[in-house]
Structure 1
Amino acid sequence: MKSDTSAQGDLRERGGMLSQPKAVWAVAFACVISFMGLGLVDPILPAIAEQLHASKSQVSLLFTSYNLVTGIAMLITGVVSSRLGVKWTLLTGMLLTVIFAALGGTADTVGGIVGFRAGWGLGNALFIATALSAIVGLSTSGTAKAIILYEAALGLGISVGPLLGGELGSISWRGPFFGVSGLMLIGFLFILFMLPKIPKPKKRGSIADPFKALSYPALLTLGIVALLYNFGFFTLMAYSPYVMHLDEHGLGYVFFGWGILLAVTSVVVAPKIQRRFSTVSSISVMLTLFAIDLGVMAVGTINNSPTTVIVAVIVAGIFLGINNTLITTAVMQAAPVERSTASAAYSFLRFLGGAISPWLAGKLSEWYAAETPFYFGAAMVLVGVIVLLFRRRHVASIVIDGH
């Protein structure tokens, strides 16, 4: 006869993805708002560059400061959450986002915006590292389905963010910053009143924990792959708006389409691929297709065909949506450590790639040609595939819900 603990585990695995406690939905809603902040600024990048008389590489520092601080701050999220608890770590991160997003909207220089985006990144780190582990821990449907729900929230936020950013940005480039601040305040209230107090872990975390987690070859491999493919991801996010030659509304619609495909494929397609193919093969194929898609963006830029770039950007959502779910699910199983520690260690490497690539994309276009950032992003994504295949023995043993 099975033990009570085992039986409870079976019930958790049998629960449907949508059959979740209210606390899970509260965190998921806050995730949507948090990830809206990532894409909300996309439609206003050209407007900021024009109105504040800044270069592409200078404006791209909005992503660099945000991602750099997010990545480094991931190293302390375990320390903070083990002392404050999950709920108050989430609330602290959200409050920092509310404050610094609003301050970003008051800035009059690119340097000011970049600085406030750094503070926003600190709040983002505290929130997202804790949110993923909270959703997985509170979910009644098992790890894989909980992560799909998290990725769905990510995709929804990324898709709605640019649409709202385009609408608010058409009024003023400051609008999206105030929009994020207001929405995150709503999410703050949801978490405050709907999330129960979660017991603090018995063992307090340390800054060394994420580095120890990276000593496990599978987690280190996935982190390196994510660092490399983020060169392509943030080239798309931070640089493609400049070569599509659209206004704020147009850019908002393009990234809305991209985000919708990302959300749908992460929820509907990725689980089917997980069940049918191996983790290594699935991630390798998706990243290779994404690299080819970046190459198409480069060709469209060379031929002065914004339509080609627009279509390629939207299509990229398919490959990125599937890959995000596959790699995030694998990360949660990649090392025998706390989920929040695994997420923090992986995200540390991932966001470092996201910090370097936006600035470098702008510089490459200034140093060489408009299409160069896309070629470089594609090359880095392919290097990520090579690393994954070369170290596949470390990742091949990861079991996802019995597959």
Structure 2
Amino acid sequence: MLSKEQAAPESPLSSGGLFHQPKAVWAVAFACVISFMGLGLVDPILPAIASKLQATPSQVALLFSSYNLITGLAMLITGVTSSRIGPKWTMLAGMLIIVVFSALGGSAGSIWQIVWLRGGWGLGNALFIATALSAIVGLSSGGTAKAIILYEAALGLGISVGPLLGGELGSISWRGPFFGVSVLMAIGFISVMVLMPKVPKPKVRGTLKDPFRALKYPGLLTLAVTALLYNFGFFTLMAYTPFVMNLDEHGLGYVFFGWGVMLAITSVFAAPKLLNRFGTIRSMMAMLTLFAADLLIMGWFTSSKTTVILAVILAGVFLGINNTLITTAVMLAAPVERSTASAAYSFVRFLGGAVGSWLAGKLAEWFNPHVPFYFGALVVFCGVLIIYARRRYLEHIDGAEAGH
């Protein structure tokens, strides 16, 4: 399943329909929806957690920091684990860890307990995400690009539906969404256990050195650093905007539902059209530039609730397109196994999320509520400059796509 690929991409127009997939792919995609619902479920209750547990925004943001930090570090062991116990059992182990730690998070009595428990949640997330992406790509019909679109659609669906459920559960108690994630992931665990057949282990066992060796390829390194930088903006939006919109749990749920819907729609329908017309690299640069501009608008009009709400929803357009484009590019950037490329890339990008979510809250405390958005916009635009400066290392991606 996870054989070594020599950067030979399939275009989004490859044979096979997007929705004509094996049963195993749908089982993993369903679990992905539930996994990403976990992110959206928690977001509407961030202000409530701060209020109930007497925590500052930067302390609450540590829920994202510990989650992202452990997820990033754990990405280094996903290949080792998957090659020894197999992709299916690696995913199941990750899902079980999420079930346990999300339930413990709902039982926590302090902000610091939740921060530590979110780190355990991140371990499960790493084992699941890295393996799920490579499994969908490896098992799907219709080409790599269509498989990634399906993965991004699952991501968008989970992120969009999650806030609605999180808002409802959060209006009852801030603990509700944590228990909700635990129950939903338990359902996902059962679906993968029953529906997904046993997948053969890779013929070559992975090592801890594999992700670092993969980052020696300049194309993959360029994409990883770019993702690290734009994650500063992404988690400024996720971890900080709930504190400036001044909405209750229901209101935040509706806003992030709109954001997730835009992300899901554009990742499936808009990204392939832009890729075919303008190429992956040019489209990525355009979307990241527009996202940086969107953050800039949030910074300028932070005191306008309406403007921030509309800007958050609009950000879903740019992030949905970019997520599909950059994930596709990562799968094709280096002649390594897909799971190794995913692990190496995710290790770097999640570190950006770990720092960015905490730093957004601290910048607001140190300066004023506008600064986190300005800083996020600047860092995201630096990612655009890196792509432009190192575009020669990415030219083979568009060149190969044009040849198919």
Aligned mates of 2:301, 2:43 — CA distance in 1: 20
Contact 1:278 1:396 in 2 (8 A): no
Shift of 1:280: 1.6
Which amino acid letter does the alignment assign opposite residue 320 of structure 2? G
The superposition leaves residues 59-91 of structure 1 with CA deviations (integer Å, 9 ceiling, x where unpaired) of: 000000000000000000000000010100000
Indicate whether 1:36 and 2:37 are aligned.
Answer: yes
- Counterpart CA distance in 1 for 2:201 and 2:53 is 46
Task: Find the aligned partners of 2:241 and 2:211 in 1 and give their Cα distance.
Answer: 33
Identity fraction in percent:
71
Conserved 8 A contact 1:144-1:400: no
Q: Give the 3-state SS of the residue equivalent to 1:201 in structure 2.
A: coil
Q: What CA distance in whole angstroms lies between the structure 1 residues aligned with 2:251 and 2:403?
A: 44
| Structure 1 runs, 4 residues or longer, greater than 3 Å off | 400-403
Q: CA offset at residue 279 of structure 1?
A: 1.7
DSSP 3-state at the match of 2:301: helix
State the shift of 1:401 in Å: 7.1
For 1:189-218, what per-residue CA distance to the aligned partner results, in whole angstroms no more than 9, with x for missing partners?
000011111111111000000000000000
User: Counterpart in 2 of 1:351?
Assistant: 350
Q: Kindly indicate whether residue 87 of structure 2 is the aligned counterpart of residue 86 of structure 1.
A: yes
Tell me how far 1:402 sits from its aligned partner: 3.8
* 1:324 and 2:313 correspond: no
Question: Matches of 2:25 and 2:135 in 1, distance apart?
Answer: 8
1:57 matched to 2:63: no
Letter in 1 for 2:401: I
Task: Tell me how far apart the structure 2 counterparts of residues 116 and 136 of structure 1 sit (CA, whole Å).
Answer: 31
Alignment partners' CA distance in 2, 1:174 and 1:300:
32
1:97 aligns with 2:98: yes
Q: Report if the CA contact (8 A) 1:330-1:400 is conserved.
A: no
Aligned-pair Cα RMSD in Å: 1.2
Distance 1:98 1:47 in 2: 22
SS of residue paired to 2:224: helix
Residue 3 of structure 1 corresponds to none
TM-score (norm 2): 0.96
For the residues of structure 1 that align with 2:211 and 2:162, how far apart are their CA atoms?
30
Query: Do the aligned partners of 1:329 and 1:400 also contact (CA within 8 Å) in 2?
Result: no
- For residues 200-237 of structure 1, what are the alpha-carbon distances to aligned partners after superposition, in whole Å with 9 as ceiling and x for unaligned? 11110000000000000000000000000000000000
Which residues in structure 2 correspond to 1:146-225 (within 5 Å)?
A: 146-225=147-226
1:68 aligns with 2:56: no
Where do 5+ consecutive residues of structure 1 fail to align?
1-8
Q: How does 1:129-140 map to 2 (within 5 A)?
A: 129-140=130-141
Q: What amino acid is the match of 2:323?
A: N
Mapped partners of 1:285, 1:335: distance in 2: 23
Letter in 2 for 1:271: P
Q: CA deviation at 1:13?
A: 3.9
Q: In 2, Cα distance between the equivalents of 1:238 and 1:374?
A: 12
| Conservation of the 8 A alpha-carbon contact between 1:101 and 1:177 | yes
Whether the 8 Å contact between 1:144 and 1:401 is mirrored in structure 2 is no
- Structure 2, unmatched stretches of 5+, are 1-9
> 1:231-310 maps to which residues of 2 (within 5 A)?
231-301=232-302, 304-310=303-309
What amino acid is the match of 2:24?
A
Residue 376 of structure 2 aligns with which residue? Answer: 377
Question: CA shift at 1:112, angstroms?
Answer: 0.5
1:336-359 per-residue CA deviation (whole Å, 9 max, x = no partner) reads 000000000000011000000011
Superposition deviation, residue 278 in structure 1: 2.1
Shift in Å at residue 150 of structure 1? 0.2
Q: CA deviation at 1:322?
A: 0.3
State the Cα distance separating 1:163 from its structure 2 match.
1.1
The offset of 1:400, in angstroms, is 3.4
Structure 1: distance between partners of 2:50 and 2:145: 41
